[in-house]
Structure 1
Amino acid sequence: MKTGTLIKILFLLIFLLIGCIKIKQELFSTEVQPVPLLSEKVTGNQTTLVIATGDMSGVYFPMGQAMADLFRKYDGKASGTQVTNASIQNTKLVSQKQAELGFSTVDVLALPEINKNEILALTGIYSNFIQIVTTNSDIKTLDDLRGKRVSVGTVGSGTKLMSERVLKAANLASNEMDLSALSFTQSADALRNGTIDVAFFSSGLPNPVIADLALEMEISLVPISKQIADRLHEEFEFYTFDEISSQTYEGVESTPTLAVKNVLLTYPDLPKQEAYQMVKTLYDHLPELQNVHPEAMEIKLAEATVGIPIDFHPGAKQFFEEIIR
């Protein structure tokens, strides 16, 4: 065989080898890809309006999708949602302008790592309820969590923040339980297959995966006593004592628990008219949100600015001032 031909074959083999290595690296790489700038232009002068939501099995996600549909339908905005770990991550994404809007519980806004100068409120919305789900009939109180396998929610979520505070208020040390940080979907699956005993959910009512679980098997909710609720309210002010109705989940009795208000966030640089129009669209077409999820029934214009610990965007202020006049 001629030397020239051998060289060509050798180069071809090297080229194929490099290609295979590259493909393998792409398939098995564990590197986290950077979040793209979500406000980048998509068509002409139009920008994508992205709403940071949460777990696809929670309430933030379908509510965010419904809002995106409203903004697309009535404001002509190219809109979409981003799945996240919820409140803490959403707040950070908005403050970094990697999302135009984001859902968060108001307790997150007081955390020291949150840059309060880079976020503003558009409107207060419905409340989240702490739902402590178990398939173990022997678990009836928070004290019964000792020695149990407990999911406290994902890192960056309001669920994890609230669950850790509840456990501390109940004098339960982390080393007294086998803790895991699972998403809503992962928690529901783990309850189904018996790999955990208890899962915390901070969510609107009803939470879709809890509702499905209640139809498949017998579950119960662990109550939070008024004493613990009052202790947490005194320390953090954002939490209120409330109740999950027996009408919420199949076969589950009314259960006392904690609630915390949700807020829709944006960043200060969002144009005033754009913020104004989004809030107006949301309230003008609120029945369409209510058709998507019953929790939207709890979004009330009269309570939109109540209990929100940060400033409102100038566009939102203008809307609420016009309504009050």
Structure 2
Amino acid sequence: MAIPRRGILAAGTVLAAPTLLASRRASAQGQQLAIATGTTGGVYYPLGGALANLISRQMPGMSATVEVTGGSVGNLQLLGAGRVGLIFTQVDAAVDAVRGNERFRGRPVPARAIAVIYTNRMQVVTVASTGIKSIPDMKGKRVSTGAPGSATEVMALRLIEAAGLDPAKDFRARERLSPAESTNAVKDGKLDAYFFVSGIPTSAITDLGASPGVQIQMIDHAEYTAKIVEKHGPVYFNEVIPAGTYPGQATDNKQMSVANVLAVREDMPAEMVTSLLKLTWEGREDLARTHAEARNFKLEGQKTAAAGIPWHPAAEAYWRSAGATLA
């Protein structure tokens, strides 16, 4: 499947800003929708590409493109600036954005959820040769905490703090790499471990596990979730990545997760929201042919608590009419 790609955005910085497309800007060819996704080694990007193709094929007068970004934080910044119309985002970053907290201090984003799609898993990845078996074992090591503008970085720093480490002092080096860059750095012996939050399986981690001479090691960290929730609110929960999800993964990985949502600005017209939701919901099997995580987009997952941020009124009405309880 060919995935449309218009430009690379990192750390929330907009490249070639005049060419970016807002949610409903009219053109000679019709309306255009820009979808902010993530890095190419994750799940947001291929799913966003599949969704863009679905929209372009099946919504009359509409074409959609995907933007490669650093991830949730950058996506929310772009949405706040009105430079994209639809975003993939983790709930924790979305909550901060709506409240104007942390990286959004003084600049709240009028984001509204339209769908809870699937779970993002915090994956802490290393190889057996590093000797790392826990988060505290990373002290003095070279680690990557995720790309700038990503929710991976937000979640990784919270996890590191909960484990009693100081990200500014306790690592030999702290890099800010994408998952694909991190995998390559580990294979080249330039990095000891990395954090990445995504659906499973993640292509970059699969690549690492399948590399000759490499024994992948997924680090358990579910023991820190309660401490993080106590400080940052009930947006995180424990799950397990089953053994065998990645080549060479011999044991279950007990880890911390967060929900993902599709979000738009609060001022997106109701009819646009309804059309997008109807197409996405009815086309979820098409999306699943691109990545299996789309099968975790379910009616019972449409819960107000899981969304974390307010629903767009049209989305709330759509889900109620579809039979979701929301509460």
Farther-moved stretch of structure 1 (235-244 vs 111-120): 111-120
Q: Percent identity?
A: 30
For 2:159, give the aligned amino acid: V
Give every structure 1 segment of 4 or more consecutive aligned residues whose post-TM-superposition deviation is greater than 6 Å. Answer: none
Distance (whole Å) between structure 2 residues aligned to residue 98 and residue 200 of structure 1:
28
TM-score, structure 2 normalization: 0.85
Match of 1:247 among 228, 244, 249: 244
**Which residue of the partner structure matches residue 72 of structure 2?**
87
CA distance in 1, matches of 2:241, 2:161: 22
**Whole-Å separation in 2 of the counterparts to 1:300 and 1:210:** 26
Is 1:121 aligned with 2:105?
no
Return closer, same or farther for 1:255/1:96 CA change in 2, 3 Å cut-off: same
The separation in 2 between residues aligned to 1:324 and 1:116, in whole angstroms, is 32
Q: Which runs of 5+ in 2 are unaligned?
A: 1-12
Q: Does 1:65 align with 2:56?
A: no
Query: Is the contact made by 2:76 and 2:109 (CA closer than 8 Å) also made in structure 1?
Result: no
Between 301-310 and 243-252, report the one with greater CA deviation.
Answer: 301-310
Structure 2 residue 31 is the aligned partner of structure 1 residue 47: yes
Q: Distance in 2 between matches of 1:220 and 1:239?
A: 23
CA contact (8 A) 1:116 1:310 kept: no
Q: Tell me which residue corresponds to 2:7.
A: none
Deviations 1:123-146 (A, max 9, x none): 111011111111244111111101
Q: Which residue matches 1:139?
A: 132
Q: Which blocks of at least 5 consecutive residues in structure 1 are unaligned? A: 1-30
User: Are the aligned partners of 2:70 and 2:150 in contact in 1 as well (CA < 8 Å)?
Assistant: yes
**Alignment TM-score, normalising by the size of structure 1:** 0.86
Does the Cα contact within 8 Å between 1:263 and 1:308 map onto a contact in 2? yes
**Which residue is 1:181 aligned to?**
176
Q: Distance in 2 between matches of 1:279 and 1:301?
A: 12
The letter of the residue matching 2:229 is H
Mark the CA change 1:105 to 1:153 in structure 2 (over 3 Å): closer, same or farther. same
Determine the C-alpha separation between the residues in 2 that align with 1:196 and 1:73.
Answer: 42
Partner residue in 2 for 1:263: 261
1:155 counterpart residue number = 148
1:305-316 equivalent positions in 2, closer than 5 A: 305-306=303-304, 307-316=306-315
Change (3 A) 1:86 1:32: closer
Q: Which letter does structure 2 place at the counterpart of 1:176?
A: D
* Residue 208 (structure 1) aligned with residue 203 (structure 2): yes
Rounded Cα–Cα distance in structure 2 between residues aligned with 1:86 and 1:71? 21
| Alpha-carbon shift at residue 122 of structure 1 (Å) | 1.0
The residue that corresponds to 2:230 in the other structure is: 234
Structure with the largest fraction of helix: 1
8 Å contact from structure 1 (residues 276, 315) kept in 2? yes
* Residue aligned with 1:91, SS: helix
Which one of 169, 193, 208 corresponds to residue 198 of structure 1? Answer: 193
- Contact 2:122/2:195, CA 8 A, preserved across alignment: yes
CA distance in 2, matches of 1:204, 1:215: 18
Q: Which amino acid aligns with 1:184?
A: P
Amino acid at match of 1:49: L
1:223 is matched with 220
In the TM superposition, residue 219 of structure 1 has moved relative to its aligned partner by: 1.1
Larger Rg: 1
